[in-house]
Amino acid sequence: MLLLYHSPALILTQNINGDTPLHIALRNGYFEVIYAFMDFLRYKGKSEFHREWVNMVGIIPDIESSIRLSNSKGNTVVHEAAFKGCCGAIKIFIQLDDEACFCLNNHGKSPLYVLAEVGDGESFGRTLNVLRQVEFKEQRLKGLSPILLAVLKTNKDFIDEILKHKPAFIKSLDEDGKTPLHYAASIGSSDMVKYILAKKVEYALMRDQNGFLPIHTAATHGNIKVIRQLLQYGLGTSELLTLEGQNIVHVAATRGQNNVVCFALQTPSLEGLINEADVNGNTPLHLATLNWHAKVVFTMTWDKRVDLGCANKEGFTPLDAAQYYMERPPSFDKRLTWTALKAAGAPQSPVKETPITNPTNPIESQRSNTVDMNNYKDRVNTLLVIATLVATVTFASGFTVLGGYNNSDPNQGTATMLREKAFQIFILSDTIAMYSSILVAISLIWAQLGDINLVFTALRVAIPLLGVSLATMSLAFMSGIYLVVSHLHWLAYTVLITGLAFLGGILLLFVPLCFPITSKCRILRYCSYYPFRLLILVTSKDC
């Protein structure tokens, strides 16, 4: 209190973090400092305060703008009061400067938003209590306002109370120009969308700073219920475009929202959007390809209505774009995107042949080829080591016969368990595993000759054979263990069930790598449908 009377200039002096004594007092709950500050102004009056300030500092202070002093986090003293839920202090600041209620911190939050956000279930009530004292002008409604928070929490009662006293709040915009309807669309609340549109249907045509309508925001977040809700209001889908001329299928394809793309493909009224081009001539399939959303590309290529050969303004078909923008070596999701197009028979542009990657000078091209060869050599060497290990293990187990050999006539030297079915499965599986691994090793030796085409051929042969050798080696191990514990039934069945489960897992992971998923043959394409979906699942960006 002595500070107010003897050194008033220090009240609004900021420290290294931009905090004034008022910031610190509010943060620590010393609300009496604020009340004392207000009493000081009432007792001595602003003119006396100005005179003493001039004596101390040499300039005439602006009390109103001083209230808006922000710290390094962008918080004013009104923000600090809101964080503490102190409505009394906020009302005092409103009396000095009601514009301070609309100042935004570094997170784009106004004090009113903060007051509604923090605290218990009474926070909305406290906010309404403050709102009634504030004069609203439409240009003040910036940043995150309480009504946006109410939309996020689907609190219709609070929205009703706000609009009853301050109808202009329905036009609140955040720093990105998003309206309450954009927020409702983003969280997928169809009830809140219906509630807001009941106030005024035209809110569905308000754009944010990116040129997105609420229906585009819903498509961005994959909220089909909201899209269906907005379409029920008779809004023409061909007119609902972004500033780049993109419809909801474009937006969904760009963001990888496969559920929205499926919804559009299954809805007859949206059929015209499937092959629509934006201002750059890109169809939804182009955009899904350029953003490497293999799942969306795969879904669209299975629909006969999708034009696989449509060229954009650069003259690129989707396959052209995939080949042109795919670096070497490509990541797996990019490889899957290209594979989906190739398997569907997507054509290249007849006007020009596009290279696999962006054109480079001969030196860069040679360097790229060297990197590719080194990369494939590492793969070949890794597979060769695995194949050698499998061959070694299976060769050894073939002569370490379970149960030993007969030492007496007439079957001297033969296996004692020769007539057991589990033993026969063990021998067959072990034999297949060993010979498969030997074939893998031989094919990979050919890959060491340095020809990239030989490398590709060797890998195409080696990977399926390696899968066979690993699977049959696992089967041999399972049958061998089952045989030696077969007299203890619960343990034998446990071994059998566990082995079959893991064998299924091995096949599940290996089959997609061996299947000819790039084949244009219709039968093979149908057979590869589920292996391809499995590959998409394991490489999904959402996992």
Could you tell me what percent of the chain has a pLDDT over 90? 27
Does a structural domain hold residue 370?
no
| Mean pLDDT estimate for the chain | 79
pTM for this model (two decimals): 0.71
**336 and 302 in a common domain:** yes
In a domain, 275, yes or no: yes
Q: Select, from the ranges 84-98, 352-366, 421-435, the one with the highest average predicted confidence (pLDDT).
A: 421-435
Q: Is the pLDDT at 59 greater than 50, yes or no?
A: no
**Residues 168 and 246 placed together within one structural domain of the fold:** no
Q: Is the peptide bond before 410 cis (omega within 30 degrees of 0)?
A: yes
Contact 536, 294 (CB under 8 A): yes
- Same domain for 135 and 251, yes or no, is no
Q: Which of 429-433, 447-451, 459-463, 536-540 has the lowest mean pLDDT?
A: 536-540
Which one of 300, 326, 359 terminates a domain? 359
Q: Which residue has the higher pLDDT, 273 or 143?
A: 273
Burial, 162: exposed, middle or buried (Cβ in 10 Å; 0-12, 13-18, 19+)? Answer: buried
- Band of the pLDDT at 543, cuts 50, 70, 90? very low
- The tally of domains found in the chain comes to 3
In a domain, 400, yes or no: yes
- Asked whether residue 346 falls in the same domain as residue 401, the answer is no
* Dist CA 150 CA 171 (whole Å): 14
Q: How many CB atoms lie within 10 A of CB 218?
A: 32
307 and 408 inside one domain: no
Which residue bears the tokens 């983003």? 186
Are 344 and 398 part of one and the same domain? Answer: no
The yes-or-no verdict on residue 318 having pLDDT over 60 is yes
Last residue of a domain, one of 141, 175, 209: 175
Cα 427 to chain centroid distance, Å, stands at 49
Q: Is residue 220 part of a domain?
A: no
Give the model's pLDDT for residue 411. 65
- For 465-519, what is each residue's pLDDT tens digit? 998 999 999 999 999 899 888 888 899 899 999 999 999 888 877 776 776 666 6
pLDDT of residue 60: 44
Pair of tokens at residue 314: 């650069």
Answer whether residue 205 is part of any domain. Answer: no
One domain, residues 533 and 478: yes
Are residues 159 and 257 both part of a single domain?
no
Residue 366 lies in a domain: no
For the residues 174-184, what does the mean pLDDT come to? 86
Establish if 227 belongs to a structural domain.
no
One domain, residues 19 and 79: yes
Q: Domain containing 96: what range?
A: 1-175
Q: Do 120 and 68 share a structural domain?
A: yes
* 201 located within any domain: no
pLDDT at 256 over 90: yes
Do both 111 and 143 map to the same domain? yes
Output the pLDDT for position 30: 78
Cα gap 191→214, rounded to integer Å: 14
pLDDT for 360 beyond 60 = no
Q: Do 261 and 341 share a domain, yes or no?
A: yes
Nearest to 400 by CA among 476, 317, 309, 490: 476
Domain CATH number, residue 35 = 1.25.40.20
Q: Kindly calculate the radius of gyration of the chain based on its CA atoms and give it in whole angstroms.
A: 36
